[in-house]
Amino acid sequence: MLRRLFRRLVQTALFTTAAVVLFVVPPLLYYCYSYYTSLENEVVTRFSGKRWDIPSQIYSDSLVVYPGANLRDSGFFERLARLNYRPKPTPAQVRGRGEYCYNPKKGTLVLFLHAFAYPYHQFDGQLVDVRLSSDQMVTEISDGVTHKALDTFELEPEPISGIYQGVWEQRRLVRLSQIPPALIDAILAAEDHRFYEHHGLDPIRIAKAAWVNIHSGHVVQGGSTLTQQLMKNFFLTQKRDWHRKLKEALMAYIAERRYSKDEILENYINDIYLGQRGQEGIYGVWEAAEYYFSKVPRDLTIGEMATIAGMIRSPNRYNPLRHPDAARKRRDEVLVLMFQDGYISRPALAVAMAEPIEPRETFTENNDAPYFVDYVKHELAERYPPEVLTGEGLRIFTTLDVHTEKLAEHAVQANLARLEQTHPRLRREEQKDRLEAALVALEPQSGKIRAMVGGRDYRASQFNRVVQSHRQPGSIFKPVTYLAALEETLQGEAHFLPTTMIDDEPFTWYYGGMSWSPANYKGRYFGAVTLQFALEESLNSATSRLAHEVGLHRIREMARKLGFGDLPPYPSIVLGGIEVTPMQVARAYAILANGGLEVPPYAVTAVVDREGRVIEGHEIKAEQVLPASLAYEMDAMLQQVIKHGTGHDAVKAGFTRPAAGKTGTTNDEKDAWFAGFTPDLLAVVWTGFDKKEELGLTGAQAALPIWTSFMKEAEAGRPETAFPAPPDQEIWNAPSPEATDADNPSGAPPADHQPDVPEGDPND
């Protein structure tokens, strides 16, 4: 019986084993094989495909410094702070890129420029000596090594924003060969000193970590290898459980089988998270070196390399900007590990541990220029798909001058606050109903947009009034009529000069069975006046009479040349009875400021791909749309507007440079404008309510103060220049037949034809 029972037990065991082998083991093996294969496919796909979405980086323009430039007025030292340059006590201590020493008593500046990859050349950094006057004007520049005199030097562009989708992960992809071996040694010593010995898992490291954690009573050391960390970052979450650890271990094993150690290490140094810069995540050792120490990796000291390596364990806890003591303690731990592993000698260890923690100075001021950035993004979106802009790591170089942009923002905000304080009726409780303004500034000769402020507060309204708001220009459109009249003189069809007389009396224009009767501001008329006086005082009646004499078709043609398009054939257009954007006005006035030469405004100078190739560059296009002598004569007339006319408050406020401009106020007093320029900078300002409520102020009262405040600061660092006269300007020196008589052979208008305008009562 026992034998029979034993036989049955054996049979049952054999049957059960056979059943397991036949029905359980194959599915289990198949599952394990499928699971392993799926993990292998994941690893291979990630390593062979696109590994990261790299956001596009938007940069400002660089700053060219030359003898005669004023460093104080150009915001030079503020730029140094934003670009993470580090001050040193003495010139002898300026030894590395990104360091400088300024001695105001001696008038000296020693500056070691950063290395920078410009669109068309790689700059490796340069030591320069600068001599300055007492007011920080540059008098001499020389090479700090050869002492050879230099004409200029260039301060690199500033990063102003990025184009990204979801989380902003800022990283610069680098090859392993671009990273100094000592930094790699520091990372391996801190995170995985047996990296080149294990196959993805390190039993010795795991056992050691378990022993340390048991004795400490809590987790103080991890057992993951560098490869496991990379797999976790690539594919997994931060959740700690056995399933994630198993998957991480298998993926690490697969990665080690399929790829070389150097390939894994290169991915790791580009992937590791090393802290936060505002909304940007700092990823990879290159970004960390630039952010924390304002250096490229090759310029880091051993101590700085150990600091970065030490941050990998906990970037926030060991952040040298916020927690220098904790960062120093962790750095010293890494240095000791480097010594124990034979990466550095004992003397090198002592030197590195004696280094002070010297991270860059934190600079809280942002330079995002939100309206300008939106304008750039919109422009680029017409040429590049979203996935390229948000994931291919493009470097976008623009025309923005950050210092000029900040001056523009301050001018808009401060003067709007002043208007609301001076005129309480302009105050509104709701953000969306508040008084608004827009300012755009550009260089007429190059077309570079230097500043763009689309409103008083981007957080409250992203509506960019520079390019999106269509408003009536009022009297800033009047120069179109005067240009059309003066052009007839050049063509020999009529004889209009600034000294030509025109009647400023009530006037009715009859057209198409209808009539139009423009009125002067406050119903004041001056009788016979010169064209110059009519423009200076922005007289509606005199301007309309002139337009009638010249012909509406000629004015429309002139408007088309200036970029206003095909306007309707209505007389009211001569007083600005159309709708335009501030950018259109700026484009038209830039032609006058540039001797009749049109150079279209632009914002993007170059787009560079991740490999440093220029995939888009800006080609400046210029077209002579007006004769140079005609533009110069209009400039001269517009200069008188500022010297004696409706723009004279600019002079009263202290802006005394050669400048030309025109005020503008719509008849319903809903829009106030000022467009003005010097020989090298133009700015257009609009002020009003988005809902087109009555402003009740003229352009001289509401827009000119913003323009003046901005231009005084923006032009302060530039040499003062006069408007250059073209060689054929003699034609305008001929006397006007209407203005000459025996007692006035010069052709100047009689004094009684230049009536005085009561002070403080501007037409515009």
Query: Could you list the active site residues?
Result: 191, 475
| CA gap 656, 519 in Å, rounded | 32
| CA gap 677, 444 in Å, rounded | 9
Look at residue 101 and give its three-state secondary structure: strand
- Please report, as a single letter, which amino acid is at residue 115: A
- Please report, as a single letter, which amino acid is at residue 325: D
| CA gap 53, 127 in Å, rounded | 36
Burial zone of 246 (CB within 10 Å; 0-12 exposed, 13-18 middle, 19+ buried): exposed
Instruction: Evaluate whether 189 touches 343 at the Cβ level (below 8 Å).
Output: yes
Look at residue 3 and give its three-state secondary structure: helix
Tokens 């001499």 -> residue: 140
C-alpha torsion angle, residues 634, 640, 642, 648 (rounded to 10): -150
Q: What DSSP assignment string belongs to 189-252?
A: HHH-TTTTTSSS--HHHHHHHHHHHHHHTS--S----HHHHHHHHHH--S--SHHHHHHHHHHH
Residue from 344, 282, 284, 332 nearest 306 by CA: 332
Which parts of 594-662 fold into alpha helices (H)? 628-643, 649-652
User: How is the chain split among helix, strand and coil, in percent rounded to 5?
Assistant: 40, 15, 40
C-alpha torsion angle, residues 686, 757, 495, 628 (rounded to 10): -40
CA atoms within 13 A on the CB side of 166: 7
Tokens 């402003």 -> residue: 695
| CA gap 324, 318 in Å, rounded | 7
Residue from 521, 438, 566 nearest 764 by CA: 521
| CA gap 541, 506 in Å, rounded | 6
| CA gap 563, 585 in Å, rounded | 9
Q: How far is CA 648 from CA 114, 416, 422, 653, in A?
A: 45, 20, 20, 9
Residue from 132, 94, 130 nearest 114 by CA: 94
Burial zone of 432 (CB within 10 Å; 0-12 exposed, 13-18 middle, 19+ buried): exposed
C-alpha torsion angle, residues 326, 328, 331, 335 (rounded to 10): -140
Beta bridge partners of 684: 440, 675
- Please report, as a single letter, which amino acid is at residue 206: I
| CA gap 288, 285 in Å, rounded | 5
Q: Name the DSSP letter for residue 50.
A: -
| CA gap 357, 750 in Å, rounded | 76
| CA gap 414, 625 in Å, rounded | 37
Vertex 241: Cα angle to 236 and 247 (nearest 5): 45
Q: Could you count the other beta carbons within 10 Å of the beta carbon of residue 126?
A: 17
Q: What DSSP assignment string belongs to 503-539?
A: EES---EEETTEEE----GGG---EEEEHHHHHHTT-
